[in-house]
Amino acid sequence: MRKILAIETSCDETACALINEELKIETSIVTSQIDVHARFGGVIPEVASRMHVEQISTIVSAALEGHSMDEVTAIAYTIGPGLIGSLHVGAAAAKTLAFFYDKPLIGVHHLKGHIFVNELLGPLEYPLLALVVSGGHTELVYLKDEDSFEILGTTLDDAIGEAYDKVARIIGLEYPGGPKIDKLAKEGKPIYHLPTPKVKGLDFSFSGLKNATLQTVERMRREGKEVDIADLASSFQEVALHHLLDKTLKVLEEKEVRHVLIAGGVAANSRLRELMSEHIKDRKLTLPPLKYCTDNAVMIGVAAFKELKHKRFVPLDAPSRSSLSIVSED
């Protein structure tokens, strides 16, 4: 049975997993640097890479515990996009293992990992529409088949996760704010009027909504009124998520789509999952398991099997890329 050892270090999680060709997860280790970054209110790239350096050997050894390198067919790692210093640490570890044990090396696009991890729940059907929503991305990706990627829409300013994290900071919640707003919004009602982003076509925008939320808080504080942060969280979330939903439904009106899935950290959002289930009833819908929404190495392993199938390996001197399109890779 073929197995892939996968490493992910694109942002603030150091992760390693061993997965087999039946997509059974033999081991999966994820350590998050969240506690450290929370002190700074966001990810500090220099701190992130230093912490990856401190963690990587322990995490890889832990993922290999009870296994031997003889079992491993190939080594996979996230080649981009992400924080360049963080990417380098995972790349160096993967390349060292590939060189020392003479294994093929697979460079995986981070977003392909987020998308293909949904295969853990069953085969994907094409044409497929993936709503990729994370701290760094907001994209509607159309896949005619598993090898053709088209970006139908993207954010013109902030990514959705970034907007969640900034709004959370405004109302005094720690980084990462997404999960905290998700929880808090359940206790509130969307009573504050916040503007729906107006963007033509299939693109997104979140900075106007973020600024309007900030201004609402500032105005109320100036007027000596108390802000109900649960109501504010709910108001922000309803507008932000309906913006995502509206564009997704627009694609379904315009294009042939058999399967819809969501991917990335914000795919863990309970209200987004509810809205998608309520509105997408006439085609296959997949919502990824919560623990595989935020960054992990299992997703890199699952996507790597597609590269292995076509023997798409990368050389030991392959450069990591802080920005890397999912559409055209060289």
Site of interaction with Zn ion (CB under 5 A): 134, 295
If one asks whether residue 164 binds ligand KG4 (CB under 6 A), the answer comes out as yes
Which listed residue (80, 136, 197, 288) binds ligand KG4 by CB under 6 A? 136
C-beta of residue 84 within 8 angstroms of C-beta of residue 322: yes
If one asks whether residue 131 binds ligand KG4 (CB under 6 A), the answer comes out as no
**Minimum CB distance to Zn ion, residue 263 (Å):** 9
Which listed residue (85, 90, 178, 188) binds ligand KG4 by CB under 6 A? 178
Nearer to Zn ion, 134 or 248 (CB): 134
If one asks whether residue 161 binds ligand KG4 (CB under 6 A), the answer comes out as yes
Which listed residue (158, 165, 203, 307) binds ligand KG4 by CB under 6 A? 165
Which listed residue (78, 155, 216, 269) binds ligand KG4 by CB under 6 A? 269
Nearer to ligand KG4, 97 or 133 (CB): 133
Task: Kindly indicate which of the ranges 1-9, 174-182, 197-205, 225-233 contains the residues binding ligand KG4, using the contact rule CB under 6 A.
Answer: 174-182
Which listed residue (90, 113, 135, 153) binds ligand KG4 by CB under 6 A? 135
**Minimum CB distance to ligand KG4, residue 84 (Å):** 14
Nearer to ligand KG4, 150 or 274 (CB): 274
In angstroms, the CA 160 to CA 181 distance is 13
From residue 228 to residue 267, the character string flagging contacts with ligand KG4 as x (rule: CB under 6 A) and all else as - is ------------------------------------xxx-
Indicate which of Zn ion, ligand KG4, none lies near residue 153 (CB less than 5 to 8 Å, by partner kind): none
Which listed residue (8, 158, 295, 307) binds ligand KG4 by CB under 6 A? 295
* Residue 255, number of CB atoms within 10 A of its CB: 14
Q: Which burial class, exposed, middle or buried, applies to 302 when counting CB atoms under 10 A from its CB (0-12, 13-18, 19+)?
A: buried
What residue ranges bind ligand KG4 (CB under 6 A)?
Answer: 11, 134-136, 161, 164-165, 176-179, 182, 264-266, 268-269, 294-295
